[in-house]
Structure 1
């Protein structure tokens, strides 16, 4: 479980602002589930999704997403993992492979999280940000993710990553939200996920 508590370049929970925000969100709470809910709702509701709001700069590190109050789903998942880890709650990164438009190829990865809750085990949650047609909620043990798998070629990838997938880091090295949107990361999936 220690790997899901580690600090890293992109999940930089020891950055003073991230650590302070994590402690602030947990203030007065003792139940890890309630702390996880507070962290989730903060990232979902207060950090704007870069594409929805047409916002720059492109962020990748948790501390940058917090500082600029924006990020694609990937950066938002890095921030949520950092806030949870700063509160000693194991958290990882998960991915879905989704269609980009019109329920057909091309596909892209979508970033979300898994948190380890003692009562439920690993629980996936999606702080992407709600909007019309998207309503992600925190209600363990029931998953209420932003997107469901509905089209051939889409997949829920089962891995829980301790660190971001390299394709995500590459995409988030681009300079503008539009460049990222034009180059959303995708990966080949094994036939068992299709």
Structure 2
């Protein structure tokens, strides 16, 4: 994020969505997922990017042609996409990040909604 912000003429913000925990058998709410929103020089819109990235079965490659979320939002499961952009991480997210000592604990400390 810092490298993007340092690029001349480039703006970067945070965005978020929430989805069920795909790894949990009961589909419990998972933590809020952070996305990155970029406005590159010469673009008239913000482009959201999903840092949960590529691996087999997940195509979230960087693209300015189309948004590629690692997992699409499914309203039928009460998942939602937060439409706003945030100049700084939400206080609940920061609290969760600071409280966790490792990734396993992080999933229990991050908020499931904003």
Name the TM-score class by shorter chain.
0.7 to 0.9
Task: Please state which structure has a larger fraction of its residues in helix.
Answer: 1
What RMSD, in angstroms, separates the aligned Cα atoms of the two structures? 1.9
One of 168, 180, 190 as aligned partner of 2:106: 180
Q: RCO (CA 8 Å, sep 6+): is it higher in 1 or 2?
A: 2
19, 25, 32: which is aligned to 1:109? 32
Per the alignment, residue 149 of structure 1 pairs with 73
In the other structure, the counterpart of 1:159 is 84
Deviation track 1:114-173 (CA, whole Å, cap 9, x = no partner) reads 001333411101122222221112221311121201242111110110000111111111
Which of 32, 49, 62 is the aligned partner of 1:138?
62
| Alignment partner of 1:93 out of 4, 14, 27 | 14
* Distance in 2 of aligned mates of 1:108 and 1:86: 29
Runs of 4+ in structure 1 deviating by more than 4 angstroms, as ranges, are none
For structure 2, the 5+ residue unaligned runs are none
TM superposition score normalised by structure 1? 0.51
Q: In terms of mean alpha carbon deviation, does 112-121 or 164-173 score higher?
A: 112-121
Structure 1 gap segments, 5+ residues each: 1-80, 189-194
Higher-Rg structure is 1
